[in-house]
Amino acid sequence: GAGVSQSPRYKVTKRGQDVALRCDPISGHVSLYWYRQALGQGPEFLTYFNYEAQQDKSGLPNDRFSAERPEGSISTLTIQRTEQRDSAMYRCASSARTARVEKLFFGSGTQLSVL
């Protein structure tokens, strides 16, 4: 498909387990963003990349969260030692950055539930 692809669509895990969420951006898109969205809330910025370089990780809640995009395409958001408060929709977005204003294309998200 031509859109942003995220996997898995749903992830249920036990507290204390590590999880890895994957994002496959639109081909050729330079920028890749990770957001977390609680029900009824707007997307909360976590981190973003230009190509493989992580430009800003100020939104990552703590050091249990990390992200990488080693080849400037697919990205992985990893949460170590998950806690119940990590339960949320995790959304990835990519942008071509060819225009002055970035148009973000969002994926369908990964719904994470920590039991």
Query: Contact positions toward another protein, by CB under 8 A?
Result: 4, 33, 35, 40-45, 48, 50, 55-56, 58-59, 91, 93, 97, 100-104, 106-109
In this structure, the strands spanning 44-50 and 31-37 are antiparallel
We find the least distance from the C-beta atom of residue 56 to another protein, in angstroms, to be: 5
Provide the minimum distance between the beta carbon of 55 and another protein in the complex, in angstroms, as a whole number: 8
Q: Distances from the Cα of 45 to the Cαs of 51, 98, 115, in angstroms? A: 18, 21, 24
Distance CA 15, CA 92 (A): 23
Nearest to 88 by CA among 59, 68, 56: 59
Q: Which is closer to another protein, CB of 8 or CB of 16?
A: 8
Of residues 19 and 46, the one with the C-beta less far from another protein: 46
Smallest distance from another protein to CB 41, Å? 5
